[in-house]
Structure 1
Amino acid sequence: MYHSDLILKGIKADELMASQLEKALIGVKDQVLQQASKIGDGATRLVYYTSCFTDNYQDVCAKLKEEDLRFLDGIAEVVKRRDIIYRLVHIYFEEIFRFKTREQLSAINSGLLKAGVIISSNTLNNQTFVIGITTAVCLGIGFNSSIVAWTGKTAALTVTGLGLYGIVQQAADSAERLRLQAPMYYQALHMQRLEMMYFLIEPTFMKAQAFESDITNAIINMVK
């Protein structure tokens, strides 16, 4: 719920002291550049829609419309459930640990303990392990700071129609990357109408090498 409130309402800017003026100006520069990027993406997506007037590109038009509808489905889930980040992460770990044996879970848990990551779980089975890891990740410093930074910027960058539509394009690009990188996870999100919301956690997952490195290291990277 904490992360979803950030996504829906944005983050209130802290008051800046005079001594922080230089840092503040750097932040403004970054926001301007990111806003320009969002507007560019939005304009590009609208250009894609011109293919709807060409018979040879009706498949492109249909794909764009489907992405728009799926994005709205994802936003509806954010409003309805307000635990979107937790669900995205939980589904990921469900796929990862679905067929892990008790011995494998124990080995992963030992690796986490050595790194100072403590999973709250009374019994070591797949379901409780997934819940414990999801909670640890969502409360982790590394994951939390990344989500807060992203949602804060996004709240400030959606002031124009093209900026908002640029987010839809970025969400579509993110979902497509996920489909190619982790088709099973993509399909699991798709079944829940959440694949267009993956862009919310993609930076954290990429930084943690969630689809490339050992799962123990990935979890540690997400938490710390």
Structure 2
Amino acid sequence: MNLIDIFSSTDAETVTTSVQLLILLTIFSLAPGILILLTSFTRIVIVLSFTRTSLATQQMPPNQVLVGIALFMTFFIMAPTFQEINQEALTPLFNEEIGLEEAYERASTPIKNFMANHTRQKDLALFLNYSNAETPETLDDVPLTALIPAFAISEIKTAFTMGFLIFIPFLVIDMTVASVLMSMGMMMLPPVMISLPFKVLLFVLVDGWYLITDALLSGFN
């Protein structure tokens, strides 16, 4: 049976299969946007990028490593939410216990709960005001069209705050090394070249990757 026959058939079992296939294709096409905007991925990858920039190690770790770490940390953090979506929405839908519309409503609830817990009220109010929406009484009344961008900018703000705090100790090292070189008259020697080993040494001694990972995980508890 080809793809045209699947979507043109009126048999109940075939229609169910076609709906499942359509949902699967839709999820695959929207996966990048869902992963970036509806999960913890944005905050994690920005913080890791800030860490590499503050160390001034150029492309070490490489982009592939940072994105891979952010990806698997996202799966770890979002596992309870994904499990709830699977139990409450996907499994009943595939078992033909509920319809597609009810499955969407059930799947949106865990995602809304996660995003609402990490969204500033100020950011959410901004999008609700611009859309002229009524003040929602419950979380179910909050439209995803307003919650998703509010969650995104809240995550970016939090990530930049964490990135600033990461920058401070390395900035102190750069300023100290630059002052020492200037006092010794070595103005032609790049301070970054001298401070890099000290920054890497400090980061290793304090177990920096552990501390940053712990801070990221704690922020989503």
Q: TM-score w.r.t. structure 1 length?
A: 0.29
Larger relative contact order (CA 8 Å, sep ≥ 6): 1
